[in-house]
Amino acid sequence: MKNDIQEVAEGVELTDGFHLLMEALEMNGITNIYGLLGIPVTEIGRMWQARGNKFFSFRNEQNAGYAASVAGYLTKKPGVCVTVSAPGFLNGLTALANATTNCFPMILISGSSEREIVDLQQGDYEEMDQLNIARPHCKASFRINRTEDIGVAVVRAIRTALSGRPGGVYLDIPARLFSTTMSAEEGQKSLFVPVDPAPAQLPAPSAVSRAVDLIKGAKKPLILLGKGAAYAQCDADIKALIEETGIPFTPMSMAKGLVSDTHPQCAAAARSMVLQESDVVILIGARLNWLLAHGKGKTWGGAKKFVQIDIQANEIDSNVPIAAPLIGDIESCVNALRAGLKGAAKPTEWMSAIAERANGTKAKLATKLTTATPVMNYFNSLGAIRDVLKNYPDITLVNEGANTLDNARMVIDQYLPRKRVDTGTWGVMGIGMGSAVAAAVETGKPVVAICGDSAFGFSAMEYETITRYNLPVTVIIMNNGGIYRGDEANPEHQVSCMIFNPKTKYDQFSIALGGEGVRAETPEALAKALEASLKSGKPTIIDAIIDPAAGVESGRIGNLNIVSTIGKKK
C-alpha cells in the first residue's frame, strides 16, 4: 500500500483525502452537494457545511441523485451527489443512469470498501465492485487510489460530464483514501481548474450551406426544440432564429418555454398537423427517439427531410436518414444558420394555416378547462392551476404521472426557459421531490410540483426534506386513487394491483411532516389553495381530489401498452 500513503518529513503541514476532495470541488465552483451520509462518507457532509457550503441531505439516494442531475440540467455545471457504498451507491446509480440517458451533467461520488478485500471477495462491509457496475450506466467511471490524484480525478469528472453530449460520471473513492494524508503544499499544487471544459464546437461550413439550402427550399419548414436546446442556454439566439426566419416551432416537453408557449409562432397546439405536413424539420437538441415516434410512421405523415443539430455525431441517422446533419454546439450551429438564412423568405402561408388550426384546438380545450363536473377531472383541475400559474411565470414546474403528466403538459403554458422538469427520456416516475428540491435550491424561486398519486409515492418521504429545508415548494397531488385510474374493481379476495387506499389523505401527510396541507375538491378551492401557498412560500401539499374514472390507461402513450388477448373473460 506504499503508493497510498506519501511519506512526509516530520513537521510538514498535512492534508488528507477529505480536505483535498472538498477543495477540488470548491475550486471548480461546486457549492451544493446532494446526498445521503453514513460510513464512510459522513465527514464529507459535516466538513462541507463547516466550510460554508450547502449539503442537502435526503432520505433515499435515488432522490438525491435526481436532485443532482436536475441541478446539472438547470445550471450547466455538473450536479454532485454523494452516497455510501453498495446499497447507497446502487440507489444513486439509478439517478446517474437517468442523468446519462437525459444528457444531464452529474457526478456521483460514492465511498467504497477496500480494494484488497473486494477484489478477493472476502466479504467487506458493504462490499461491491462499484467501479465496474457503474461503467455501463454513465459516460465514465473512475476510481481514485491516491490523494495526489484527487485534483485530476475531479477535473476529469467535470470535463467528461460537461463536454460533448453531457451525462453522468461515477467517482469511486475507497474509504481509506479519505483519511490518507499527504503534504498540504503538495496537495494544494495537485488541484486545478480545467480550461474550457465544454468547448464550443463549430459546425463545418459545408454542413451549414447544405442545411441552409435545404431550409431555403422548404415550403413548410418546422423547428423542433428539444431539452438539449434548453440546456444549451443560448435562449436569445434560438428565439432570434425563429423570429428572423418566421419558421413555426414546437417544443418537446422540457423545451416548453424556451420560447414562450404563447409566442405567435408556437405550433404546439397544432402538433400532429405540423409533424405530418412539414417538409423540412430542423431538430435542435432533440433525438428522434420513441418520444418522436423514431422519425417515421403515421406521426410523421409523408416524405420529410431532416436537418439535425446535435453535438453527438453518431446520433445522426440513428433512426431515419438525416439529409443535413449539423454537428456542433447548439449556439454555434444556430448562429451559423441565422447568418446563412438572413433575408430568406418567411413561410407566412404555412404559418397562418398552423395558427388557424392551433386557435381551433385552443378554443376546444378552453371549453374543457372550464366545464364543471361533480368530481374534478384532469381538465377543470388543471385549468384552475393554469390560471393561477399565468401570474407566476418564473416558478419551476415539476411534473410526473401518466394522465397527470400528459394533461398538464398540454394545459399548462410555460413562458420562460428551463422552467419545466419532468419524467424525461425514460418517462421515469419518482423524479418529483428530488427535482423540486434542486429547482428550489438552484433557482432560488418557488416550485410547483404536479404529481400523480402513484408518481408522488416514489419520492414521498423527500417531502420531509422539503419541509426540513423550508423550501418554497407546493406539491399538487392529482389524487385519483391509482395508477392511471382509481376505479379498477378488486379481484376476488385480493386488492387490485392498480389502485391505492382511498382513505389516503395527502394533506394530512404534509401536516404530519411539518408542512401545510389542504384538501381541494373543486377547481375554485384548488386555485385558492395554490395562490395562498405561492404567496406564503411555505411547503404545502394540496390533495386535489380527481374522479377515479377520469384517467385513461397509460395516459397519451396507451399505444405502447401491451395487453394479452388470450383467456380474457368476454
CB 46 within 8 A of CB 73: no
* Residue-by-residue DSSP string for 546-566: B-TTS--TTGGGGGG-----T
Question: Which helix or strand (DSSP H or E) is residue 203 part of?
Answer: none
> Which one of ligand ADP, ligand OXT, Mg ion, none interacts with residue 329, CB within 5 to 8 A by kind?
ligand ADP
Binding to Mg ion in span 413-472, by CB under 5 A: 452-454
Binder among 142, 484, 506, 509 for ligand OXT (CB under 6 A):
484
Separation between Cα atoms, residue 231 and residue 166, nearest integer Å:
10
Q: Which CB, 292 or 330, lies closer to ligand OXT? A: 292
Q: Are 290 and 297 in contact (CB under 8 A)?
A: no
Residue 157 or 545: the one with the smaller Cβ distance to ligand OXT is 545
Q: Give the span between the Cα atoms of 482 and 454, in whole angstroms.
A: 6
Residue in the shown chain whose Cβ atom is closest to ligand OXT: 452
Contact partner, 365, from ligand ADP, Mg ion, ligand OXT, none, Cβ < 5-8 Å per class: ligand OXT
The residues in 250-289 that bind ligand ADP, with binding defined as CB under 6 A, are 252, 254-255, 285-287, 289
**Stretch of 19-27, 83-91, 225-233, 351-359 lying at the interface with ligand ADP (CB under 6 A):** 225-233
Residue 540 lies near ligand OXT (rule: CB under 6 A) = no
- State which residue, 33 or 270, has the beta carbon closest to ligand OXT: 270
Residue 322: CB minimum distance to ligand ADP, A:
12
Minimum distance of ligand OXT from residue 324's CB (angstroms): 23
Q: Which of 156, 409, 418, 420 binds ligand OXT (CB under 6 A)?
A: 409
- Cis peptide upstream of residue 264 (ω within 30 degrees of 0): no
- The alpha carbon dihedral of 444, 449, 454, 457 has a sign of positive
Tell me the C-alpha distance between 322 and 544, whole Å. Answer: 45
Question: From the CB of 92, what's the least distance to ligand OXT, in Å?
Answer: 15
Among 83, 480, 510, 540, the residue binding Mg ion under the rule CB under 5 A is 480
332 binds, among ligand OXT, Mg ion, ligand ADP, none (CB under 5 to 8 A by kind): none
User: Which one among 70, 405, 499, 541 touches ligand OXT, defined by CB under 6 A?
Assistant: 405
Kindly tell me which of 201 and 289 has the beta carbon lying closer to ligand OXT. 289
Taking every pair of C-alpha atoms in the chain, what is the biggest distance, in angstroms?
Answer: 85
Cα–Cα distance between 452 and 346 in angstroms, integer? 42
Task: Look up cell 379498477; give the residue.
Answer: 488
SS3 541: strand
Query: Quick one: 453 or 543, whose CB is closer to Mg ion?
Result: 453
148 makes contact with ligand ADP (CB under 6 A): no
How far the first Cα of the chain sits from its last, in Å, is 70
> From the list ligand ADP, Mg ion, ligand OXT, none, which binds 279 (C-beta under 5 to 8 Å, kind-based)?
none
CB of 227 to ligand ADP, least distance (A): 4
55, β-bridge pairs: 33
Q: Per CB under 6 A, does 452 bind ligand OXT?
A: yes
Q: Closer to ligand ADP at the Cβ: 29 or 199?
A: 199
The reply to whether 365 sits near ligand OXT by the rule CB under 6 A is yes
Site map 300..319 versus ligand ADP, x via CB under 6 A: ----------xxx--x----
Residue 227 found at the interface with ligand ADP (CB under 6 A): yes
Contact flag: residue 165 with ligand ADP (CB under 6 A): yes
* CA dist., res. 115 & res. 386, Å (int): 54
Q: Render 408-434 in DSSP notation, one character per residue.
A: HHHHS---STT-EEESTTTT-TT-HHH
Handedness of CA 268, 269, 275, 280 (dihedral sign): negative
CA 71 remoteness from chain centre: 9
In order, the DSSP letters of 219-284 are SSEEEEE-HHHHHTT-HHHHHHHHHHHT--EEE-GGGTTSS-TTSTTB-GGGHHHHHHH-SEEEEE
Closest approach, Cβ 246 to ligand OXT, in A, equals: 20
Binding of ligand OXT at residue 471 (CB under 6 A)? no
Is residue 430 close enough to count as binding ligand OXT by CB under 6 A? yes
With both helix axes pointing from N to C terminus, report the angle between 378-389 and 403-411 in degrees, rounded to the nearest 10: 50
**Cα distances (angstroms) measured from residue 276 to each of 220, 281, 286, 308:** 10, 10, 17, 17
Q: Using CA atoms, how far apart are residues 516 and 472, in angstroms rounded to an integer?
A: 11
Binder of ligand OXT out of 38, 194, 427, 514 (CB under 6 A): 427
Q: Which of residues 213-272 bind ligand OXT (CB under 6 A)?
A: 253, 268-272
- Give the residues lining the site for Mg ion (CB under 5 A): 452-454, 480
- Give the residues lining the site for ligand OXT (CB under 6 A): 253, 268-272, 291, 361-362, 365, 401-406, 409-410, 423, 427-430, 452-455, 478, 480, 483-484, 551, 554-557
- Give the residues lining the site for ligand ADP (CB under 6 A): 102-103, 165-166, 226-228, 231-232, 252, 254-255, 285-287, 289, 291, 310-312, 315, 329-330, 425
